[in-house]
A and B are shown apart, each in its own frame.
Chain A
Amino acid sequence: MVVQTPNGFTLDNSGRRVVVDPVTRIEGHMRCEVNLDENNVIRNAVSTGTMWRGLEVILKGRDPRDAWAFTERICGVCTGTHALTSVRAVEDALGITIPENANSIRNLMQLALEIHDHVVHFYHLHALDWVNPVNALKADPKATSELQQAVSPSHPLSSPGYFRDVQNRLKKFVESGQLGLFKNGYWTNPAYKLPPEADLMAVTHYLEALDLQKEIVKIHTIFGGKNPHPNWLVGGVPCPINVDGTGAVGAINMERLNLVRSIIDMTMEFNRNVYIPDVKAIGSFYKTWLHGGGLSSQACLAYGDIPERANDFSAENLHLPRGAIINGNLDEVHDVDLRDPEQIREYVDHSWYEYDRPGISLHPWEGETRPRYELGPNAKGTKTNIVELDEGGKYSWIKAPRWRGHAMEVGPLARYIVGYAKGHERIREQVDGFLRDLELPFEAIFSTLGRTAARALESLYCCELQQHFFEKLVTNIRNGDTNTANIEKWDPKTWPKEAKGVGQTEAPRGALGHWIVIKDGRIENYQCVVPTTWNGSPRDPAGNIGAFEASLMNTPVERAEEPVEILRTIHSFDPCLACSTHVMSPDGEELARVKVR
């Protein structure tokens, strides 16, 4: 059957169906089904998953000041972002303002998390969609050294001996049968296009990235008091500042600030000399593979983040841009208001929930999470063993959020397209420079490669912002302001009987909102709309497909039983479900196992 979607895609589900399915039962279950035509091109895409089932189930009746500690446990990768979004929601509801130092410190923590996530995502989770580590064993270390010096002359680790050592280590590791993280790949697939030297360079940088990432998280340990699971505080940050102090437990002194500065510098260097050159080098071998753009060329959404001044979430005060682009019109960027009941609304017609009647949508403050698990009439298999989903019926645990009725893409690419359209100077400079270096036209940004590139460019920009907020913090402290928390309204007796608020952030993988309703000092309702809800959303009643689904459309697949291309594009969103997946053949037989995140 051929269907035209309102957001411009032609869906044809007549070809053979390939199912990519995980087995994870707990925090997320993501599955993709696609139909391929006779030329192995994707003509229909169905994405399904579960995030979690309504935080209200857990938070109702609890103290709003504790909500961050629960939201921090929702998942293993967005820990700090959820905590920050939560304290912002409570502060918004109760009219609590935070001191400038707290704003700078929160920004430093949030930026550290962005950079950490982007670097780890690229090297640990996404690189293997582009890089073939087995091929790296064939590389000539001397040629690798020459390649390294050509792509990044400033990077000191580039001798032939260095690459030979890494190659030997990798060889030993592979031979010992501990292929571990590399074992679930399709290493003979022609979809891999790098020469062995580029593969060895990238694997080497993967190891360097692992060393860097443990330094980055120290920023959380210093400001949040511990790692993992740093502390957060409604009204500010929990760390006192005592610059003259020499070891008061938890206090920020000069020694610790100096450590933060050295970590920021080290991170900047890595981004500039390793991450960005790697993405460019890899990109240069894939510049003809510009699939995966999906919704990015027509509908992008960003809430914005990293406020310059504390307590001001107006668009002009945010370093990471806010705005919505619809119908592909980059000349007009709409402002976004998370409180406006007309803007963000969630549908559940194709999700395993129900509202009081079909076709309606709810704003998150009114959000409901009432499960209704049923398969569409054309589904194959049973409820406990789904062979094939029916996208005409309910087919996902993810709700379908829409912005003024539009399915939207969120994440680094969406932020960069919104920023570009708004004339954000630094973003324009970065995007234009990247495209110029690869000799690509502007439209090339609307692609899987563009998504991966935007994440790298944003990581570098976040390093620059870290330097800015570090200087700002130090200057403020020098000027005598050591205030880090506002506890005026800490006591629930000072709160109104009823209040509601919203917290917003740009998580590494996209726009994140928490909506809270407080009644008699306790949580009455709490709803999160997370980035992967936007990107992984199923169809809505009008038939619009979500961002994952759109991104897979019209992509040719080299080998149907080894859908590297599907994984490459889905991974480029950095979905927030680290799940192990199985690739199923059309008859349901397991063919291979891969990693999806």
Chain B
Amino acid sequence: MAALTDRPGMNGCAAASAPRTLVLGIGNVLWADEGFGVRAVERLHEEWEMPAGVTLMDGGTQGLYLLHHIEACEALIVFDAVDYGLAPGEMRLVGDDEVPAFLGVKKMSLHQTGFQEVIATARLKGWEPRRMLLIGVQPEELEDYGGGLRPVVAARLEEAVACAVEELRRLGHAPQRRAGRPQQPLSAPAITRQSYEAGRPSAEDACRFGDARFLALVSGGKG
């Protein structure tokens, strides 16, 4: 499931004051480091079991489709690739009212414009979150269609996950480290990071430098 909410009572009750929390990874996994947000929430799901009151979601580039999930939460943690103008791989946390601005400074991708708008729309409808936190990493490569995370960005996944866990604890939740693998992956198995990156055809096979059939036609005497 893209949205996994653990059943109430599975890990005991969350602290009475802990806000309903949505941890959202956004971005497009097909565009290299643009997938950071989705990969971070995927990793969080693989390593940590969430208590009642916490929802993990692979939001992709869904924009308005995410509105009702956002309206339903009292605290929102967002993972995303953000152009802060920093060195590639640098991570920065931004809180509360600053979040929308950072999701719109440089419109690196359509979902960022879209997501800023989703937040504005939720606000117009009266949504007043107790807490917003953006865990963003400066991407290195966005232009590689079909590519995975670059090492400098992938290296931040662990830290990003740790930041989210720390924030969840601060909010009064008690995530537990998993003993084994989760029963269900967060996204369709074919596009989880490992299958996606391992299954990518080589540049030659996928004609990323030109189309082999065309080249064959030329060498076949057409040119």
Q: Would you call A442 an interface residue if the criterion is a C-beta within 8 Å of the partner chain's C-beta atoms?
A: no
Contact (Cβ within 8 A) A57 B61? no
**Nearest residue, chain B, Cβ from A170:** B124
Q: Would you call B129 an interface residue if the criterion is a C-beta within 8 Å of the partner chain's C-beta atoms?
A: no
Contact (Cβ within 8 A) A217 B211? no
- Please report the total number of B residues contacting A with Cβ < 8 Å: 59
Chain A residues, Cβ within 8 Å of B114: 76, 578
Chain B residues, Cβ within 8 Å of A27: 28, 31, 61, 109-110
Q: Would you call A580 an interface residue if the criterion is a C-beta within 8 Å of the partner chain's C-beta atoms?
A: yes
Shortest beta-carbon distance from A54 to chain B in Å: 8
Q: Would you call A169 an interface residue if the criterion is a C-beta within 8 Å of the partner chain's C-beta atoms?
A: yes
From B110, B199, B200, B206, contact of A24 by CB (8 A) = B110
A25 to B83, CA, bound (A): 12
A214-B67, A226-B3 as given contacts; A76 in contact with B111, CB under 8 Å: yes
Q: Would you call B223 an interface residue if the criterion is a C-beta within 8 Å of the partner chain's C-beta atoms?
A: yes
- Please report the total number of A residues contacting B with Cβ < 8 Å: 54
A28 to B59, CA, bound (A): 19
Chain B residues, Cβ within 8 Å of A63: 190
Q: Would you call A490 an interface residue if the criterion is a C-beta within 8 Å of the partner chain's C-beta atoms?
A: no
From A62, A226, A370, contact of B210 by CB (8 A) = A370
Contact (Cβ within 8 A) B201 A61? yes
**Nearest residue, chain B, Cβ from A228:** B62
Interface 1/0 per residue, B47-78 and A, CB below 8 Å: 00000000001111111111110010000000
Interface 1/0 per residue, A69-99 and B, CB below 8 Å: 1101111110100000000000000000000
Contact (Cβ within 8 A) B64 A56? no
Contact (Cβ within 8 A) B123 A229? no
A169 to B126, CA, bound (A): 9
From B123, B188, B191, B206, contact of A56 by CB (8 A) = B206
Contact (Cβ within 8 A) A368 B214? yes
From A70, A76, A169, A370, contact of B61 by CB (8 A) = A76
**Nearest residue, chain B, Cβ from A62:** B199
Chain B residues, Cβ within 8 Å of A74: 30
Chain A residues, Cβ within 8 Å of B64: 120, 124, 213
Interface 1/0 per residue, A456-475 and B, CB below 8 Å: 00000000000000000000
**Nearest residue, chain A, Cβ from B62:** A228
Contact (Cβ within 8 A) B68 A26? no
Shortest beta-carbon distance from A357 to chain B in Å: 9
Interface residues of B in 102-125 (CB under 8 A from A): 107-111, 113-114, 116-117, 120-121, 123-125
Most B CB within 10 A of own CB, among A61, A79, A229, A356: A229
Contact (Cβ within 8 A) B191 A70? yes
Contact (Cβ within 8 A) A57 B207? yes
From A231, A356, A579, A580, contact of B214 by CB (8 A) = A356
Q: Would you call A384 an interface residue if the criterion is a C-beta within 8 Å of the partner chain's C-beta atoms?
A: no
From A23, A228, A580, contact of B60 by CB (8 A) = A228
A173-B123, A368-B211 as given contacts; A60 in contact with B117, CB under 8 Å: no
A120-B64, A169-B124, A356-B217 as given contacts; A26 in contact with B28, CB under 8 Å: yes
Contact (Cβ within 8 A) B124 A180? yes
From B2, B63, B142, B190, contact of A76 by CB (8 A) = B63
Interface residues of B in 170-223 (CB under 8 A from A): 187-188, 190-191, 199-201, 205-208, 210-211, 213-214, 217-218, 222-223
Contact (Cβ within 8 A) B200 A58? yes
A58-B146, A76-B63, A227-B3 as given contacts; A577 in contact with B110, CB under 8 Å: yes
Interface residues of A in 196-235 (CB under 8 A from B): 207, 210, 213-214, 217, 225-229, 231
From A70, A170, A181, A579, contact of B117 by CB (8 A) = A181
Chain A residues, Cβ within 8 Å of B34: 26
Contact (Cβ within 8 A) B28 A73? yes
A77-B63, A368-B214 as given contacts; A24 in contact with B109, CB under 8 Å: yes
Shortest beta-carbon distance from B81 to chain A in Å: 10
Interface residues of A in 306-331 (CB under 8 A from B): none
Most A CB within 10 A of own CB, among B29, B109, B143, B187: B109
A226 to B218, CA, bound (A): 48
Contact (Cβ within 8 A) A227 B200? no
A299 to B43, CA, bound (A): 50
Interface of B: prevailing SS: mixed
A369 to B208, CA, bound (A): 9
From B1, B116, B223, contact of A226 by CB (8 A) = B1
**Nearest residue, chain A, Cβ from B213:** A368
A207-B125, A214-B68 as given contacts; A26 in contact with B108, CB under 8 Å: yes
Interface 1/0 per residue, A578-597 and B, CB below 8 Å: 11100000000000000100
Shortest beta-carbon distance from A68 to chain B in Å: 8
A516 to B214, CA, bound (A): 18
Chain B residues, Cβ within 8 Å of A226: 1-3
A368 to B208, CA, bound (A): 11
A24 to B110, CA, bound (A): 7
Most A CB within 10 A of own CB, among B110, B114, B199: B110
Shortest beta-carbon distance from B110 to chain A in Å: 4
Contact (Cβ within 8 A) B31 A26? yes
Contact (Cβ within 8 A) A207 B124? yes
Chain B residues, Cβ within 8 Å of A72: 188
Shortest beta-carbon distance from B68 to chain A in Å: 3
Contact (Cβ within 8 A) B65 A228? yes
Contact (Cβ within 8 A) B113 A70? no
Contact (Cβ within 8 A) B109 A26? yes
A60-B201, A214-B67 as given contacts; A23 in contact with B107, CB under 8 Å: yes
Contact (Cβ within 8 A) A580 B113? yes
Contact (Cβ within 8 A) B190 A69? yes
A456 to B34, CA, bound (A): 35
Chain B residues, Cβ within 8 Å of A227: 2-3, 65
Chain A residues, Cβ within 8 Å of B2: 226-229
Shortest beta-carbon distance from B155 to chain A in Å: 22
| Residues of A in contact with B (beta carbons under 8 Å apart) | 23-28, 52-53, 56-58, 60-63, 66, 69-70, 72-77, 79, 120, 124, 169-170, 173, 178, 180-181, 207, 210, 213-214, 217, 225-229, 231, 355-356, 368-370, 577-580, 595
Q: List 6 A-B contacts (CB under 8 A).
A: A56-B206, A61-B205, A73-B61, A76-B62, A76-B65, A210-B121
7 cross-chain pairs, A with B, having the tightest CB-CB distances, nearest first: A180-B120, A76-B61, A214-B68, A66-B190, A58-B146, A26-B109, A69-B188
Having A74-B30, A578-B110, one finds 5 other A-B pairs with CB under 8 Å, namely: A57-B146, A76-B114, A173-B123, A180-B117, A579-B110
